[in-house]
């Protein structure tokens, strides 16, 4: 018999205990943490290695542009494959889809490890691997997002989303710091540790016993894909939330330029780079624990817009800083603000989306998120090519502030969103 719904006036303890009783969810959470940890280390290693290779023959601006090209190479397959990826997650066993994605990620990181070990790593190779990795992530994101709600009772879903975000954020604290330490030894070390973590994540998915096959959906593949696009467009709260994330982070993606800031502006080297990369996740983790213990009960839309505005202001502060520790504080505030807005967005989207549609909605969302991250890295690299890294970061922060005000006017229903229930 399912447990009674918890009293919303109580603290997190009963809900946390209820989540601990969900064995399959714990395996899912472990997979999410180790997979996120691995992805962070790989991202750090590829960014640092790309910049180091490019600086052998190119200027700072040209090298920054090539670091941004990693983001474009990773995003292109996400954009191209998003609709079939969402349809796949809504038609096939989501656990099987995840395992196939992990196989692709493991092969890509082994190729990077071998190339680094043999001294044959190059700019074109890194871009090719980034594209292959992006193809695997295109199918991973919809299946992963859609499978999580299948493993917990609906009453625990907001709490589970908070802890899912914490899995990613805590891994993002350890990942960049570990990545910075590992690339200081060699990129090969970083890639081999990433391989072990991806393997552990895949084994955790294998441990999930509950059925993760969605209800069979009638209609052709194209019909299902059109249904997903129509649903996102019709649900203005969903469309407004994910498009806000797209344009705010697309413009405010200063983290893509961290290798440039660490090496040629702040002059803090690989270890300082790891500290800078960890700072946003530290801020996000603090806010994540606060949200898990103190759920937002009213004015959720206002909180989300406030988070995006703070994100833009912190990006501007980071751009103007010339002190490592001021930069770390600015990045921590940036990460905490992003965590607040992402938590509200993810909760709103998953609560209003039926399970039969979750894969396709998650696929559309993953394109927006991928565009805001990977394509945002490309945008930062392009702007840095013309304005320099400082100008690019400042441009992005101001742009995020302008987007916040514009979206608050365009999507009044999103601004008025109240309870996350």
Residue 303: which of 358, 244, 359, 215 has the closest Cα?
Answer: 244
Please, are residues 404 and 305 in contact by the beta-carbon 8 Å criterion? Answer: yes
Q: What average pLDDT does the segment 382-404 reach?
A: 80
Q: How far is CA 412 from the centre of its chain?
A: 26
pLDDT of residue 196 exceeding 70:
yes
Based on the number of CB atoms within 10 Å of its own CB, is 155 exposed (0-12), middle (13-18) or buried (19 or more)? Answer: middle
Residue 214: which of 137, 145, 162 has the closest Cα?
Answer: 145
What are the start-end ranges of the H helices in 252-375? 258-260, 269-293, 300-320, 324-352, 355-370
The reported pLDDT for the residue numbered 11 is 41
Cα–Cα dist 255/377, whole Å: 8
The domains of the chain, with CATH numbers, are: 23-415 (1.20.1250.20)
Cα–Cα dist 355/150, whole Å: 8
pTM: 0.66
Number of CB atoms found within 10 A of residue 290's CB: 14
Cα–Cα dist 144/418, whole Å: 27
pLDDT of residue 163 exceeding 50:
yes
The reported pLDDT for the residue numbered 106 is 93
Compute and round to an integer the Cα radius of gyration of the chain.
20
Cα–Cα dist 57/251, whole Å: 29
The reported pLDDT for the residue numbered 356 is 62
Cα–Cα dist 277/183, whole Å: 13
The reported pLDDT for the residue numbered 234 is 67
The position carrying tokens 């809900």 is 15
Q: How far is CA 209 from the centre of its chain?
A: 26
Name the token pair of 222: 């194209």
Number of CB atoms found within 10 A of residue 310's CB: 20
In the chain, the percentage of residues whose pLDDT exceeds 90 is: 12
The reported pLDDT for the residue numbered 367 is 62
Residue 350: which of 208, 235, 226, 211 has the closest Cα?
Answer: 235
Higher pLDDT, 313 or 226: 313
The reported pLDDT for the residue numbered 99 is 93
Name the token pair of 323: 């002190």
- Contacts of residue 398, defined as CB under 8 A and 6 or more positions apart, other chains included, come to 312, 316
Number of H helices, E strands in the chain: 16, 0
Cα–Cα dist 65/61, whole Å: 6
DSSP 210-231: S--PPPPPPS-HHHHHHHHHHH
Mean per-residue pLDDT of the chain = 78
Least confidently predicted of 234-238, 245-249, 293-297, 353-357: 353-357
Least confidently predicted of 6-10, 66-70, 160-164, 342-346: 6-10
Please, are residues 298 and 421 in contact by the beta-carbon 8 Å criterion? Answer: no
The reported pLDDT for the residue numbered 9 is 39
CA angle 227, 341, 381 (to 5 degrees): 85
Cα–Cα dist 35/165, whole Å: 13
Q: How far is CA 282 from CA 163, 286, 303, 337, in A?
A: 15, 6, 20, 11
Cα–Cα dist 277/274, whole Å: 5
Please, are residues 158 and 295 in contact by the beta-carbon 8 Å criterion? Answer: yes
**The dihedral sign for the CA sequence 280, 250, 267, 172:** positive
Instruction: Specify the DSSP class assigned to residue 255.
Output: G
């Amino acid at each position: 018999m399912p447990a009674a719904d918890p009293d919303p006036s109580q603290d997190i303890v009963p809900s946390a205990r209820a989540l601990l009783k969900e064995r399959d969810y714990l395996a899912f959470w472990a997979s999410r943490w180790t997979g996120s940890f691995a992805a962070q280390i790989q991202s750090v290693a590829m960014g640092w290695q790309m910049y180091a290779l490019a600086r052998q023959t190119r200027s700072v601006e040209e090298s920054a542009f090539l670091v941004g090209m990693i983001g474009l190479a990773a995003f292109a397959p996400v954009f191209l494959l998003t609709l079939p990826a969402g349809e796949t997650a809504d038609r096939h066993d989501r656990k099987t889809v995840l395992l196939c994605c992990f196989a692709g990620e493991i092969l890509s990181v082994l190729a990077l490890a071998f190339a680094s070990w043999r001294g044959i790593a190059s700019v074109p190779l890194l871009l090719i691997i980034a594209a292959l990795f992006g193809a695997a992530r295109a199918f991973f994101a919809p299946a992963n997002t859609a499978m999580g709600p299948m493993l917990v009772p609906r009453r625990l879903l907001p709490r589970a989303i908070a802890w899912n975000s914490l899995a990613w954020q805590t891994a993002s604290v350890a990942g960049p710091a570990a990545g910075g330490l590992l690339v200081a030894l060699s990129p090969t070390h970083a890639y081999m540790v990433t391989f072990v973590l991806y393997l552990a994540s895949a084994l955790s998915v294998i441990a999930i016993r509950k059925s993760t096959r969605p209800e069979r959906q009638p209609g052709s593949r194209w019909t299902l894909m059109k249904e997903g696009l129509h649903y996102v467009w019709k649900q203005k709260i969903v469309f407004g939330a994910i498009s806000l994330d797209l344009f705010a982070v697309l413009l405010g993606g200063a983290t893509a330029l961290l290798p440039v800031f660490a090496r040629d502006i702040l002059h803090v080297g690989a270890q300082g780079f790891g500290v800078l990369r960890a700072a946003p996740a530290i801020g996000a983790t603090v806010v994540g624990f606060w949200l898990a213990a103190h759920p937002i009960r009213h004015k959720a839309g206002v909180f989300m817009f406030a988070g995006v505005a703070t994100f833009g202001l912190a990006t501007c502060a980071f751009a103007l800083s010339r002190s490592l520790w001021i930069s770390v504080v600015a990045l921590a505030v940036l990460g905490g603000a992003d965590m607040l807005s992402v938590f509200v967005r993810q909760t709103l989207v998953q609560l209003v989306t039926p399970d039969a549609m979750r894969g396709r909605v998650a696929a559309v969302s993953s394109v927006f998120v991928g565009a805001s991250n990977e394509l945002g890295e490309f945008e930062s690299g392009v702007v840095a090519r013309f304005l320099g890294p400082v100008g690019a970061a400042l441009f992005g922060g101001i742009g995020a502030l302008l987007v916040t005000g514009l979206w608050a006017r365009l999507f009044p229903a999103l601004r008025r969103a109240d309870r996350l229930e």
